[in-house]
Amino acid sequence: MKNLLTAFFGLLLISSVHATEVAVVDFRGALLQSNIGQEAAKGPKQKVAEMDVRLKKEQADLETAANNLKRDELTLSADEFKKRRQGLAETQNKIRALAASMQRQAKELEKQLIESLTPQGEAALKSLIEERKLDLVLNRQLSLYADADADITNELVKRINKDN
């Protein structure tokens, strides 16, 4: 009787087990790697490059001014030296603020880019989910481990390219 009950419960458990199809995806990465992502990123990349050139020029000017102050330190009066050193500190603070502002602008540009590409990416992902009959799709960054076969990022890039 005990064996019969064990067999019965075993059959119930086996029949109630449903295989869950799970995949992981780097959605942001797929959007940026796709052809439409690469094309849409050209403008923001150029703006970021221009900001970077400006920042490097400001930093080089500050370094030149610091070297000049160091060179002239012995020939300047104490008041003039203090005044120029204070000016350098103010310039350095402005450059830090400029760098932080540029970083915020770059993040905002990327955010806008991702938002503009998301509808095409979502449509491609939805069709991929339906095609592969997936029950669950996780963000790759949130998973601790995923087999290479479970990662559908490359498939998503191909689907976005095909659909657009």
- The confidence band for 146, taking pLDDT boundaries of 50, 70 and 90, is confident
Each residue of 101-129: pLDDT tens digit?
999 999 999 999 999 999 999 999 999 99
- Lowest mean pLDDT, pick from 33-37, 90-94, 95-99, 147-151: 147-151
Residue 4 has which token pair? 């019969």
Distances (CA, A) of 24 to 27, 82, 131, 144: 9, 59, 15, 11
Buried-exposed string 48-74: b where 16+ CB fall within 10 A, e elsewhere: beebeeebeebeeeeeeeeeebeeeee
- pLDDT score at 147: 86
- The confidence band for 5, taking pLDDT boundaries of 50, 70 and 90, is very low
Report d(CA 39, CA 41) in Å as an integer.
Answer: 5
Residue type, 134: L
- pLDDT score at 18: 55
- pLDDT score at 35: 95
- pLDDT score at 20: 76
pTM score of the predicted model: 0.71
Return the higher-pLDDT residue of 103 and 10.
103
Domain boundaries, the chain: 17-163
Helix/strand/coil for 23: strand
Helix, strand and coil in the chain, % to nearest 5:
80, 5, 15
